Amino acid sequence: MSNRERNIERVFILGMDGAGNFIQNTDTPNIDAFLQKGAVTYAAQAQSPTISAECWGSVLHGVVPEKHELNNDKAASQPYPSDSLYPSVFRLAREAWPEAKLAAFSGWTPINDGIIEEGIGIHKESMSDAELVKSIQAYLQVNRDVKLLFMQLDEPDGSGHKYGYGPDSPEYLKAISRNDELFGLVLGSIEELGLLEDSLVILLTDHGGGGDHKYSHGSEHPMDKNVFWGCVGPGIEAGKELPELFIVDTAAVAAYALGLTQPDSWDAKVPAGLFG
């Protein structure tokens, strides 16, 4: 079944950093209500090591960290090679549609500077979470024909490092709830602009924390590895439970929804039965 047959015109990848699966332990009414319309799991697996650059690199480039070789220092100091054997889903989209509108909004600047390729005409903005969401809403008002849009909000991870991760860390849980409010604003704009019915919307986080160390992450502990992942859109059955899924599979899901040919070099896979 092609993306046209599914009536998918665009993909939104909307993420928050460092939230694990702890949306189950705090108030996230916007995310909860939205994901009831589609498929969700709270046992998706972050890539290893469970660190931001490694994980977001896998989300966007469709390969495990051993292949994309990204880490926090590298992402903060040098651009991702535009001729890499492991292109991001953004590069796939640009090669397929030279004139398409592509956009990346990140609270953590190295995603835009060092993980997503430069020089391929992607609208990029990096700023604090609340300001970032305002900018996304303004962008959508005048760019309803955007083909691929990525969002990464950063506050949960920063709060986890400061106050500790996990269900027994009130300030950390409050940060996740605040991000839920911001997700609600973006999801509200998507719906109000009439984009929801022909869009695939993926919601996720990159890793958790608090497993081996209360104020950090990077380990194989389930608190670091287990994350939420869900999607809503044409062809996605409401209430569908997802089988085993790794966050690297996000790239394959996005590419498939857009009708793009997945590179042979990718490790990412579309979960069996996701699109019916």
Mean pLDDT in residue range 66-88: 97
Q: Is the preceding omega at residue 110 within 30 degrees of 0, hence cis?
A: no
Average of per-residue pLDDT values in the chain: 96
Q: How far apart are CA 186 and CA 137, in angstroms?
A: 6
Give domain status of residue 275, yes or no. Answer: no
| CA 37 – CA 57 distance, rounded (Å) | 28
Task: Count the domains in the chain.
Answer: 1
Confirm whether 271 is domain-assigned: no
The answer to whether residue 121 sits within a structural domain is yes
Do 172 and 164 contact (CB within 8 A), yes or no? yes
Please say whether the beta carbons of 256 and 275 come within 8 A.
yes
Q: If you average pLDDT over residues 104-130, what whole number do you get?
A: 98
Domain hosting residue 72, numbered range? 3-258
pLDDT of 1 over the 80 cut: no
- pLDDT of residue 147 exceeding 50, the answer is yes
Nearest in space to 228 (alpha carbons), one of 56, 59, 41: 41
For 29-67, write each residue's pLDDT tens digit.
999 999 999 999 999 999 999 999 999 999 999 999 999
Q: How far apart are CA 113 and CA 60, in angstroms?
A: 14
* Mean predicted confidence (pLDDT) in 6-30: 96
pTM above 0.85, yes or no: yes
Residue 268 located in a structural domain: no
In a domain, 267, yes or no: no
CATH number, domain at 154? 3.40.720.10
Give the pLDDT score at 6.
Answer: 59
pLDDT exceeds 70 at position 260: yes
Residue 241 has pLDDT above 90, yes or no: no
Q: How many CB atoms lie within 10 A of CB 95?
A: 12
- Domain membership of residue 124 (yes or no) is yes
Tell me the average pLDDT across 195-207: 98
What is the full DSSP assignment across the chain?
--HHHHT--EEEEEEESS-TTGGGGS--HHHHHHHTTSEEEEEEE--SS--HHHHHHHHHHSS-HHHH---HHHHHHSPPPTT-SS--HHHHHHHH-TT--EEEEESSTHIIIIISPSSS--EEEE--HHHHHHHHHHHHHH-TT-SEEEEEE-HHHHHHHHH--STT-HHHHHHHHHHHHHHHHHHHHHHHTT-GGGEEEEEEES----SSSTT---SSSHHHHEEEEEEESTTPPTTPBP-S-BTTHHHHHHHHHHTPPPPTT----PPTTTT-
- Which pLDDT band holds residue 3 (cuts at 50, 70, 90)? very low
Residue with tokens 């309803």: 144
Question: How much is the average pLDDT of 133-156?
Answer: 98
Residue 263 lies in a domain: no
CA distance 218 to 79: 23
Q: At what angle do helices 155-163 and 170-192 cross, to 10 degrees?
A: 180
Residue 221 domain-assigned (yes or no): yes
Q: Concatenated DSSP letters for 223-270?
A: HHHEEEEEEESTTPPTTPBP-S-BTTHHHHHHHHHHTPPPPTT----P
Q: Could you tell me the two tokens for 51?
A: 């660190």
Contact call for residues 63 and 267 (beta carbons, < 8 A):
yes
Residue 4 has pLDDT above 60, yes or no: no
How confident is the model over 238-254, as a mean pLDDT? 94
